[in-house]
Amino acid sequence: MSFFDDADEPLTEQRTARRRGRASSGGRRPPSGPRRSGSDQQAFVIRRAIALTGIVIVVILIVLGVHSCEVSQRNSSLKNYSNSVGTLIAKSNQTGKTLFNQLSGASGASNATNLQTQVNQTLQDTRSQLNQAKQLSVPNEMRVGQQDLLLALQMRRDGVSSIATQIQQALSKAASADAAKTIAAEMARLYSSDVVYTDYTAPAVVSALHGAGIYGQPIASGQFVQNIQWLTPTFVAAKFGAALPATSSGKAAPGIHGHAMQSCSVNGTALVVGGTNTLPANPPPTFTCTFTNDGQNNETNVVVKVQVGGTSISGQSITPQTVPGHQYTAQVQLSSAPPAGSYTVTATVEKVPGETVSTHNTQTFPVTFH
């Protein structure tokens, strides 16, 4: 046996042993460890499914929670805006009441300075309200309503601003008629602001609320002009004691025209014709004069004037229209306080077109001012 034969023999035996081992095991490796049974595998799958389901539920709850918070926040912002608009328009409405209270007592030149100061303050209020509206936090759903709100408040500010510039002229006899017409035109602007708010702003706010499922939210009404008669120049002129020219360019209507002065009083005390009348001079007294249309025609822009004899002190009031057979009352405030002393005070219903007899238009009273 050679050296190489001895070396190959053990190697051959080892290979033969390996083949036998493989044959006895069927050619497969023995398992490396214990294997799961069928029930264990099923439990594992179930546990994993439960875990995944739990994760999905948590995610859904988070999404729903976030959405619910967003909806709640949106609804709160819509309600807050609606409430802010209501508060602001209520302030503006009150400003309107204040303005018309001021203008209703405008007759008499002695009120000019005080009235101007009051109306200027009212103008500042309208400016402040417009600025507040511009600073509101506006949800996207309320953008249209916000634009209409700003327009309405801007119209109110501009209208009051124009009226404020006419106060002195309206109380001045030289230009009172023109100023009264201008003021009446600005009243139309103020009334239009009511239309803008009522027909556009409020419906836009309601629509946005309903779109979000919000019902029953109170919506403030917006009424700045309390009496639409302020839109007529004759009514404004009467409040300011201005006389507008007659609108008719033709002859007076057929029939009797005219008025009769019935009586006058001051602070509820009737003045006596030919008797003794004592009145305080300060503040300038207001005469309540009663007169009747004793003609056969309707009359317009009827002027009642009170004059303190021997002075330039007087006052007048205008009644826009009178009807035959009806009685009317004119409030006439003197332009200033008369000096202490005795005077003859004359109260007159001035002649109207077509009036031929005016002897019953006037009453005179001896008055001592103190």
Residue range 222-244, pLDDT digits in tens: 899 988 889 988 888 877 876 66
CA atoms within 13 A on the CB side of 29: 3
Q: What is the pLDDT of residues 203-219, one digit of tens each?
A: 999 999 998 888 888 88
DSSP3 helix / strand / coil % (the chain, rounded to 5) = 50, 15, 30
pLDDT of residue 48: 74
> Which of the pair, 4 or 299, is modelled with greater confidence?
299
247 pLDDT band (50/70/90 cuts)?
low
Which residue segments constitute the domains of the chain, with CATH numbers given? 64-240 (no CATH), 259-369 (2.60.40.10)
Contact status, residue 292 vs residue 327, Cβ threshold 8 Å: yes
Average of per-residue pLDDT values in the chain:
83
**Exposure b/e, 16-41, CB count within 10 A at least 16 = b:** eeeeeeeeeeeeeeeeeeeeeeeeee
- pLDDT of residue 85 exceeding 60, the answer is yes
Place of tokens 């033709």: 250
- pLDDT of residue 2 exceeding 70, the answer is no
- Pinpoint the alpha helices (H) of 105-212: 112-134, 143-164, 167-170, 176-196, 202-211
d(CA 95, CA 164): 14
365 pLDDT band (50/70/90 cuts)?
very high
pLDDT of residue 29: 54
**Exposure b/e, 168-198, CB count within 10 A at least 16 = b:** ebbbeeeebbebbbbbbbbbebbbbbbebbe
Q: What is the pLDDT of residues 162-192, one digit of tens each?
A: 999 998 888 776 557 788 889 999 999 999 9
pLDDT of residue 3: 38
Question: Of 286, 287, 282, which is closest to residue 337 (Cα–Cα)?
Answer: 282
**Residue 178, both tokens:** 């023109």
Please give the average per-residue pLDDT across 358-368, as a whole number: 94
Please give the average per-residue pLDDT across 259-280, as a whole number: 94
- pLDDT of residue 366 exceeding 90, the answer is yes
Amino acid at 122: T
pLDDT of residue 34: 55
Place of tokens 């511009």: 134
Please give the average per-residue pLDDT across 75-102, as a whole number: 93
pLDDT of residue 38: 63
Contact status, residue 239 vs residue 106, Cβ threshold 8 Å: yes
Q: Percentage of the chain surpassing pLDDT 70? A: 82
CA distances to 56, 81, 244, 276, 289 from 351, in Å: 94, 58, 14, 28, 16
pLDDT of residue 137: 92
Determine phi and psi for 215, rounding to 5 degrees.
-125, 155
> Which of the pair, 224 or 105, is modelled with greater confidence?
224
Place of tokens 């706010």: 205
The predicted model scores a pTM of 0.56
d(CA 178, CA 190): 19
Q: What is the pLDDT of residues 316-356, one digit of tens each?
A: 888 888 999 999 999 888 878 899 999 999 999 999 999 99
Q: What is the pLDDT of residues 278-297, one digit of tens each?
A: 999 998 899 999 999 999 99
Contact status, residue 205 vs residue 79, Cβ threshold 8 Å: no
Assign residue 310 a region (left: φ > 0; alpha: ψ between -120 and 50; beta: otherwise): left
CA distances to 10, 11, 211, 225 from 4, in Å: 11, 12, 102, 130
3-class secondary-structure state, position 130: helix
> Which of the pair, 63 or 286, is modelled with greater confidence?
286
d(CA 344, CA 13): 161
